[in-house]
Amino acid sequence: MLHLLKISRWAPALLSLAPSTALATPAENGSGGADGTALRALHCGRLVDVDRGQLLGPTTVLVRDARIAQVLPGRVAPSGARVVDLSDATCLPGLIDAHVHLSDQVGPASAVEKFRLDIADYAVRSTRYARDTLLAGFTTVRNLGDNAYETVALRDAIAAGYAIGPRILTAGVPIGSTGGHADPTNGYRADLAGDPGVAQGVIDGEDDARKAVREHYKRGADAIKLMTSGGFLSEGASADNAQMTVAEIKAVVAAARDYGFKVTAHAHGAEAIRRAVLGGVDSIEHGTYVDEEGLRLMKAHGTWFVPTISPNAYTFDKADQSGYFPPVVAAKIKAAGLRNLQTTARAYRAGVKIASGSDAGVYPHGENARELQLLVQAGLPPMRAIQAATLHAAQMLGIDRETGAVAEGKQADIVAVAGDPVADIGLLRRVSFVMKGGQVYRDDPAGGRDSAAHPAAADGPPATP
């Protein structure tokens, strides 16, 4: 099983070499008991139990090295355990963002930077974006599209302690068709851009589709991302047209199964969504213009939906700024409005399985938790939104035996926030404590939450459509 291999890569095998971060006191990183184990007792004022969908009262989470040893009601302090006092806070599982772009940051300079930056520049920048993401409480992310597999290197660097960031499952370069949303040469001078192929993720036909999946295996990717429709931020005329055939999608999915890859499809238009579901993908990203048939098909096939409302909301505001986006891109964004809020509401009512992914990179990394606010604005109860970014995301990614809940045996991925995030989901934009795999990366003093690193709450969600 592929993800077992990944898990061994995730495991903090280099615990003794792991960084003692500047943001947590060394005492609380405690990886060095005399017997080689470190037992810590996290005294949580409350705990969000995502398995049962309940907010529990005072709870002790015992953490031994990288894993959760026990979850006990009340305050318990076994002998030899170091107490971590979170009694003024609510603990919840480390958050999961199922759709990020850790090596990119969209802005007015993006188009020109494609010509001026080397892949090494993107890779180095990604280390800061990864750090911002982890410190915002996201302990696991799925990267859905990079430039040249640089997030494979980022994933490995974080796992080995060379950089600080979340656990990463990466899809490497996205796969799409000539002129499609994944074609990196769209909008560029033809004689300079050339004709990209499978190595760049551009396929035409079933043979290319199979080769592209095998290339991902060879390059060390964890998942497959397809572009079955146009997109908003590429310089193509349509945001939603269908850009892959069902035969091509089926060829990708069949090859992906050989290697244990899950397949997700970026799909905005109804026909592209229909083809992706019929082609057998595991999940749909965006789903902007899904119709009733698409929702029915997703429900019938058990296809997950990742609504990505954040980029919709963020780019809509930026599209009016002269020079921020190329004109063809700005026009597509304005035409869509805040459609994804409505789409999410319809999908939820239709009973489609929803997991949270925010498309970070389209907006500033570290603001990921705004997606949970938007899910609530779209009509999900706050507990469901939290489950979408923990338990349900882990289930979709096939890693729920390892993370996604605060439960015995799982990785000690735990965050804490002042107040009650079930009553006020926006509090998740200000996490005060972050533990990933038993390592503490953030522990703000009680009452002195570090707002400088997270100017998060500055812009609220947009008005309800």
Tell me which residues touch Zn ion (CB under 5 A): 359
Give the shortest CB-101-to-Zn ion separation in angstroms: 6
Give the shortest CB-81-to-Zn ion separation in angstroms: 42
* Site of tokens 């990209």: 196
> What length is written for the chain?
465
Structure-token pair, residue 52? 């049962």
Give the shortest CB-145-to-Zn ion separation in angstroms: 6
Give the shortest CB-383-to-Zn ion separation in angstroms: 26
Give the shortest CB-195-to-Zn ion separation in angstroms: 24
Give the shortest CB-389-to-Zn ion separation in angstroms: 16
What is the rounded CA–CA span in Å between residue 437 and residue 411? 5
> With respect to Zn ion, which residue has the nearer C-beta, 393 or 440?
393
Give the shortest CB-359-to-Zn ion separation in angstroms: 4
- Summarize the chain as % helix, strand, coil (round to 5): 35, 20, 45
What is the rounded CA–CA span in Å between residue 109 and residue 233? 13
> With respect to Zn ion, which residue has the nearer C-beta, 340 or 432?
340
> With respect to Zn ion, which residue has the nearer C-beta, 65 or 359?
359
> With respect to Zn ion, which residue has the nearer C-beta, 208 or 359?
359
Give the shortest CB-358-to-Zn ion separation in angstroms: 9
Closest CB to Zn ion: residue number: 359
Give yes or no for a contact between 91 and 44, defined as CB atoms under 8 angstroms apart.
Answer: yes
CA 156 to chain centre: 17
Give yes or no for a contact between 160 and 14, defined as CB atoms under 8 angstroms apart.
Answer: yes
> With respect to Zn ion, which residue has the nearer C-beta, 146 or 413?
146
CA angle, 427 then 428 then 432, to 5°: 90
Give the shortest CB-311-to-Zn ion separation in angstroms: 7
What is the rounded CA–CA span in Å between residue 416 and residue 160? 25
Q: What count of other Cβ atoms lies within 10 Å of the Cβ of residue 384?
A: 17
> With respect to Zn ion, which residue has the nearer C-beta, 132 or 359?
359
> With respect to Zn ion, which residue has the nearer C-beta, 50 or 148?
148
Q: Are strands 223-227 and 262-267 parallel, antiparallel or unpaired?
A: parallel
Nearest residue to 229 via CA among 262, 277, 190, 191: 277
Question: Residue 22: exposed, middle, or buried by beta-carbon count in 10 A (0-12, 13-18, 19+)?
Answer: exposed
> With respect to Zn ion, which residue has the nearer C-beta, 87 or 238?
238
CA atoms within 13 Å, Cβ hemisphere of 173: 26
Whole-angstrom distance between the N-terminal and C-terminal Cα of the chain?
43
Longest dimension (CA), the chain: 71
Q: Are strands 414-418 and 82-93 parallel, antiparallel or unpaired?
A: antiparallel
> With respect to Zn ion, which residue has the nearer C-beta, 29 or 358?
358
Question: Residue 237: exposed, middle, or buried by beta-carbon count in 10 A (0-12, 13-18, 19+)?
Answer: exposed
